[in-house]
Amino acid sequence: MIKIFPNVLSNSQGRLNMKIGYIQSSPLFGDKEQNFEEIKNLTSNIKADLIVLPELFVTGYTFISKKEAESLAEDLEGETAQFLTDISQSTGAIVVGGYIEKDRQKIYNSAMIVSKNGVIGSYRKIHLYFKEKMWFSPGDKPLKVYDINGIKIGIMICFDWIFPETARTLAILGADIIAHPANLVLPYCQSAMVTRCLENRVYAITSNRIGEEIRGDDHFKFTGKSQITSYNGEILSSAPNDKSFIDVIEIDIQKARYKKLNEFNDLRNDRRPEFYNSIVNQKK
């Protein structure tokens, strides 16, 4: 499979510029066609290199049974994969978006990464939140960074943010950017991503949703405020908390590859994993 960023820009000063963005949507539970249509309308005039969509953007979030979640699940050749491929073709972007992945007898809260030529890969959420543990199997694949035309993209999903090991592992694996589909209901993540990016010197795209879902015993209000966070902790883009929204900005990837804070401190080389490992071993 050919994997390309058709819009990546570079110049003689060593910059590697690319256009990255997020889509903040308001999905209707279970209405795939309507949810596809909203994304299609939001991206109708967009050109970019990387676009991130929310967690479970096509199905909604608040399931009332595992059977219901299973009924909305797809494999990597399903309609969501085809839709995201179409979005990649129309925007020129690599696209990352959340869906329910079906694999034999299990379902996962997953995010696929797609080019104009089709699916590149899929990440299964490793830290499940609240009743997700009733519907989904926990992710069973290691964290991975996708090297696409020299740009390195890691993926995590929503509640993964609260475990610093997730972003740190992706950074150690070489991620320039962390694509972060989310359905956030807690108010902490957007601020926490400043620290996640600063401590790892990576960019992050947190694509959240808006709206409310009241189903069964649950009532979730999603916080919106999707954001792009810079390697130095600066918030480069922030969406409203109550409107569907899309934004695309230009960044210099090379800045995420320079891990020095000053002439004495390098965030990658100053790590002391021999001591971190001893703490893990003591716990065992």
The one catalytic residue among 102, 125, 152, 225? 125
The one catalytic residue among 55, 74, 101, 132? 55
Instruction: Judge whether 197 counts as a catalytic residue.
Output: no
The one catalytic residue among 74, 152, 158, 213? 158
Instruction: Judge whether 55 counts as a catalytic residue.
Output: yes
Instruction: Judge whether 225 counts as a catalytic residue.
Output: no
**3-state SS record for the chain:** CCCCCCCCEECCCCCEEEEEEEEECCCCCCCHHHHHHHHHHHCCCCCCCEEECCCCCCCCCCCCCHHHHHHCCECCCCHHHHHHHHHHHHHCCEEEEEEEEEECCEEEEEEEEEECCEEEEEEECCCCCCCHHHHCCCCCCCCCEEEECCEEEEECCHHHHHCHHHHHHHHHCCCCEEEEECCCCCCCHHHHHHHHHHHHCCEEEEECCCCEEEECCEEEECCCCCEEECCCCCEEEECCCCCCEEEEEEEEHHHHHCCECCCCCECCCCCCHHHHHHHHHHHC
Task: Supply the residues annotated as catalytic.
Answer: 55, 125, 158
